[in-house]
Amino acid sequence: MKNLAKGITKNHAPHIIIVGGTSGIGLALALHHQMLGWQVSVVGSSAVKIADINSLHPAIVTYVCDLTDPNQTQTLLDNLSGIPFQRLIYSAGSYTNERIHHLNQADSDQMLVINLQAFEQVFRWASSQLKQQLKQSCQALDMTKGDRPSLICIASIAGTIDYPYASLYAKSKRAMIATASAYRAALIPYNIQVNCIASGYINTQALRDLNDGDASHKPFIMSTQAAVDHIMQAIDDNIELAIFPRSMRYITSALNYLPKPVLNWILGSKLDKAK
């Protein structure tokens, strides 16, 4: 792994690590936390994007890591061990439109690793680090709401529908939601906050690239800034699973109340999996 980390200055500002923080909603959250006075570290797989951040935002600490390689990921985590942080956001993700493209071995491996396996690897490490930090500082019982260490993951509204013929992407995001819920329950005694974000369409460059440069036709699509506002509010309010926008939350909730045969018939005619 090529590590492009710049030196982290010692100060009293809270430190956030964003995995998948070099573009899209991850970068937007990084810049938002920087604006709030946080010390920010981001992890990404693209050396080009890392170089851009180094040039445009030199105060942000950068690491390059290919999350599809568990050895690289572990080396990254080893390098980060011992560096105190208060918040970690897992924003990395991989998507292949299975309704259009046949899911080959490479796409399948990449989605499974980034959306689930690397996420689990990072969350396992991060929870251990935060527990150790709390043990060393003896602050577990003294944390106020605003001071609590936190783990956040960016899932997808696609993972909130209980549908057996869903895509690998949706199934992996559903597993992420369940995993985050388990961590939330397990970390309550440590006063560590865990939140999962399940948003609808966000008008990022990645989404536009998947739609020939224009994603405006996507239902209830929101701007990146609106998504950041929703996410930060969900963290402030300590929402276990934040589903937005509201219109999409209502639709997915209604779908989950349908009898399974009806849901399977509706979605089976729209999505990619043959029954």
Q: What is the pLDDT of residues 224-257, one digit of tens each?
A: 888 999 999 999 999 999 998 666 655 666 565 5
| pLDDT band at 203; cut points 50, 70, 90 | low
Mean pLDDT for the chain? Answer: 82
CATH number of the CATH domain containing 189: 3.40.50.720
Residue 61: the pLDDT is 97
Parent domain of 25: 15-268
For residue 6, tell me if it sits in a domain.
no
Q: Please state which of the ranges 125-129, 149-153, 201-205 shows the lowest mean pLDDT.
A: 201-205
Number of domains forming the structure of the chain? 1
144-186 pLDDT tens trace = 445 789 999 999 988 887 776 678 888 999 999 999 999 999 9
- Dihedral of alpha carbons 267, 218, 154, 91, sign: positive
Q: Please state which of the ranges 22-31, 81-90, 120-129, 243-252 shows the lowest mean pLDDT.
A: 243-252
For residue 99, tell me if it sits in a domain.
yes
Instruction: Report whether pLDDT(139) > 60.
Output: no
For residue 3, tell me if it sits in a domain.
no
For residue 169, tell me if it sits in a domain.
yes
Question: Residue type at 244?
Answer: F
For residue 5, tell me if it sits in a domain.
no
Instruction: Report whether pLDDT(142) > 60.
Output: no
Instruction: Report whether pLDDT(1) > 50.
Output: no
For residue 48, tell me if it sits in a domain.
yes
For residue 217, tell me if it sits in a domain.
yes
Report, as an integer, the average pLDDT of 251-270: 59
Residue 272: the pLDDT is 42
